[in-house]
Structure 1
């Protein structure tokens, strides 16, 4: 910069002192000849202190070499100015970042006179950039980690946009798409293919497809189905769906996770077929055994002690027959929907009969049985099946109650149908077992610890019968306080 020295030194001095940017005149040896207030405030030194120092001792050691290289190049005539970002040492020891612009001033004869330096304090900006870089690095690490998880998990993952279009899927899900959609998939929720309900026979309608349900805003867990045209090679899946929402709660789409459960479903089928087959095979000889035991018990020539032994055999054989009937019914429910024989029935009469039948066992256990019913309640049901519901609920209530406890059967009409409740003051059910009580063969932990006999089929049968009537059964329970099973049936009349 030739002839840059102002003609009016006072004007130059005023400009220097009042500039909001740090400014300094720097000698050819690097000493600060003149500095302004902005630079003083930036570095934390008085103006007089700064004018006794050189830029070399104010510069961070890691940035000094880069500054000196440019400084020497300017003195050598290679460049007239330079700019760089560097660190300064603040008076209190912390680092201040400055955006430095330097111009060399020459005399009329071309000889270097001094440097003019401008320093913009960019400490906050640099710290912000550091934080931004760190945050960006964290986000990228998180993205890469999620990408690795997304592509390596054994679960199929699918992301659907709010318009129902497929936005992304992982490799696992892409591989499984070939079975239900051998001709390819259009990438839109609800596309039909070789997708079957859990019975393996009924094709799914568009409204039943998990992708369509999720695209419509539903959330669900463990939705099971079969895929594949060939029954031998088809696969079973369990899918769960959650909605993806933005910061304000707006729906952005849905995420679905697909877990293959073919082995589990086939094992359950084999188990059901085995149970059904064994039950059928045992029922015929057992019926014959019970018939001959009946004849033996009625034989007047039998000694009294022999008759007593026969009665013990009959009781156990009858119990075995009941178990086989339960197993057969569970197998039938698994294969087809439960068939009902509906007719007009007085549920009050059905409830009274069930309670009277349960009293003998209840009295032997020291448990009281109470009945809270209206005078009459007519509806269209399968009375034999409803009696089965009551028998199972009463048997459980008495079995899991302590001596001195009470079982109450309540029947009433409500706005949403007919409500049938069986309550007890027994041991109760643990909170983490409530959702499992209607599963086949499930036995609660407390029942197992106390070695209370049972098969774990009764409540599954109750649930099946109530569902076949178009109703719902729920349970409320508290450990040590008792349990209430509540079946709600639609009120149907001719």
Structure 2
């Protein structure tokens, strides 16, 4: 019953807050008429049952006085149903429990010593619960009046029940008051939480809108992939790139190629498939469309998302159109290759005439020394031009066409490269350790593979610390052959490792010399042989380059095939 009772008059501030929360309606006033009707109908129902029992059975009390009280209750119930209490001031509704107390007093006086006084519980609890401290004061006055009414009615024959009824009424009124206050406090708390939740919801919607606008303003695609593989968020740029490339459409017939533009990319190695498998990667370039036709190149990066407990929350895939950039780089390489090719002929001629001048016995010794310096620099310049030409024509198709593979022992090739590099190593007090060389059959072009090893060994010497060491090793498991080059140099930082094999990139200590083409050419040569090159480096401890190549099968006679 207390949940349906209107709030006490001293909670006007609460009503004002509720008034604003419920669209301009006063929540307390809306329940005022309903509370009065429900409480009065409940009391009228109990009185009706009692009147029925008195009408059909014996009644030892004053019947006229009893039915007078019953009539008052019924009349008051009818008035409760007719009077629009919501249009009256809040205090007028207190007339109902006040008249109910008087009517129940008539019922109790009609049969002193009976239990009819228990009906006072209805108006007493209503007053205490609905009108706050003022109602509680009214209850105290009412109970005092009830006690004063009961004592004369018992005509000096007071019993324990004479004093028990007021105590029960006091306890009921106090319980109703406390329950109502607790309910009111919960209502206020819920109102505050409702306001807070609305503010949080509005702020979240604003933030979501801002994030959406920011994502849509980007010129690269963003895809949020959920932990179950579902696509949760995409932006407009992604939709445009998807429409052009259709890279995440399994039914698309557009062929896909790796970063070299010619090696087909299987469906299970697409960026989306790798992201769904839980992989993370940077700058994976995929070409869409056949070579020689209009093509699209996308650079894709995937970052994994983890929760506070380490749970996988999915990933974010970022795709960017790099067609113009790669086309510009290719045009630059073509231009550099053209210029380098034109420089090669006059440089060769210059070196030839320098050799003739140096070998001429009529040339003075001082001039011969100057010619030696000029020859060394011309040879160095010719080597740079050769590197540039090799880098410009180092697509897999070009290199593979120039390969002449045969069966050889990688250990012997590495040993020969080390012996050729010993003078440079001694000049820097760098020791070369060959104890890790094991017979390792491999099918490769000896000149190209020697170029790979020479490049790695030269770098290990050039970028090693003075007095350091180099460890060379080869091994095989019958299916693959590994070549290892380890140095004790300063190491390579993580930021530089991701770009170390890019053309013209020089990292850290390497930035002061070289063209930045050596490792790029080395990787292209290894890949042209069907292998891969890996790098493990720790700053301050050194670097290890590992070349993995397909092994040649051994024959029964001890050779390789």
**Scaled by the length of structure 1, what TM-score is found?**
0.70
| 1:232-271 paired onto structure 2 within 5 Å | 234-241=295-302, 256-271=317-332
User: Does 2:535 correspond to 1:475?
Assistant: yes
Q: Alpha-carbon deviation of 1:374? A: 4.1
Match of 2:409 in 1: 346
Q: Alignment partner of 1:317: what SS?
A: helix
1:242-391 alignment, distance < 5 Å: 256-334=317-395, 336=397, 338-339=399-400, 340-374=403-437, 376-391=439-454
Once the two structures are TM-superposed, the CA of residue 269 in structure 1 deviates from its matched residue by 0.7
| Deviation by residue 1:93-126 (Cα, 9 ceiling, x = unmatched) | xxxxxxxxx7861759xx9x99755443324433
Aligned to 2:13: 60
Q: Provide Cα deviations, 1:236-262, integer angstroms capped at 9, x if missing partner.
A: 321234578999999898753221223
1:8-41: CA deviations, max 9, x gaps? Answer: xxxxxxxxxxx876979x9xxxxxxxxxxxxxxx
SS, match of residue 285 in structure 2: strand
Pairwise CA RMSD: 4.4
Matched, 1:437 2:500: yes
What is the rounded CA distance, in whole Å, between the counterparts of 2:442 and 2:222 in structure 1?
48
Q: Following the alignment from structure 1 to structure 2, what is the Cα–Cα distance between the partners of residues 426 and 245?
A: 36
Deviation string 1:327-349 (CA, Å, 9 cap, x unpaired) is 12211213735223211222222
Could you list the per-position Cα deviations for residues 431-459 of structure 1 after superposition, in whole angstroms to 9, with x for gaps in the alignment?
Answer: 321222222111123343xx4x2111111
Is 1:244–1:255's contact at 8 Å kept on the other side of the alignment? yes
TM-score (norm 2): 0.62
**Matched residue, 1:12:** none
Is residue 143 from structure 1 mapped to residue 134 from structure 2 by the alignment?
Answer: no
- Distance (whole Å) between structure 2 residues aligned to residue 180 and residue 347 of structure 1: 43
Taking structure 1 as reference, are residues 436 and 256 closer, same or farther at Cα in structure 2, changes over 3 Å only? closer
User: How much has 1:372 moved relative to structure 2?
Assistant: 1.9
Within the alignment, does 1:105 sit opposite 2:96 as a pair? yes
The 3 A distance-change label for structure 1 pair 20 and 346 is: same
Deviations 1:150-190 (A, max 9, x none): 32222223467899887764322333445446xxx9x8445
SS in 2 for 1:60: helix
String of CA shifts for 1:63-101, please: whole Å, max 9, x gaps.
399589779999998524699xxxxxxxxxxxxxxxxxx
Cα distance change of structure 1 residues 196 and 285 upon mapping to structure 2, 3 Å threshold: same
Contact 2:428 2:466 in 1 (8 A): yes
Q: Are the aligned partners of 1:220 and 1:240 in contact in 2 as well (CA < 8 Å)? A: yes
Count of aligned residue pairs for this structure pair: 420
| C-alpha spacing 1:82/1:367, structure 2 compared with 1 (3 Å) | farther
Say yes or no: does 1:488 pair with 2:513: no
Paired position in structure 2 for 1:79: 84
Which shifted more, 383-392 or 211-220?
211-220
1:394–1:165 distance in 2 versus 1, CA, 3 Å: closer
Secondary structure at 2:394 match in 1: helix
Which entry has the higher C-alpha Rg, 1 or 2? 2
Per-residue deviation, residues 393-413 of structure 1 (Å, max 9, x unmatched): 121121122332222222334
Structure holding more strand per residue: 1
* Cα distance, 1:104–1:191 mapped onto 2, change above 3 Å: farther
For residues 314 and 358 of structure 2, the distance between their equivalents in structure 1, rounded to whole angstroms, comes to: 71
Cα distance change of structure 1 residues 315 and 258 upon mapping to structure 2, 3 Å threshold: same
Counterparts of 2:14 and 2:436, CA distance in 1: 93
Structure 2: stretches of 5+ with no match in the other structure: 20-25, 37-78, 104-122, 131-179, 554-560
Gap change, CA 1:281 and 1:206, over 3 Å in 2: same
Determine helix, strand or coil for the equivalent of 2:552: coil
Task: Return the alpha-carbon distance in structure 1 between the equivalents of residues 543 and 488 of structure 2.
Answer: 7
Choose from 120, 125, 133 the match for 2:190: 125
In the alignment, the residues of structure 2 paired with residue 143 and residue 398 of structure 1 have an alpha-carbon distance, to the nearest angstrom, of 55
Match of 2:148 in 1: none
- CA gap of 1:190–1:399, structure 2 versus 1, over 3 A, is farther
Quote the Cα distance in structure 1 between the aligned partners of 2:365 and 2:483. Answer: 44
- For the residue of structure 2 that corresponds to 1:193, the secondary structure is coil
How far apart are the structure 1 equivalents of 2:373 and 2:364? Answer: 15
More helix by share: 2
The Cα shift of 1:318 comes to 1.6
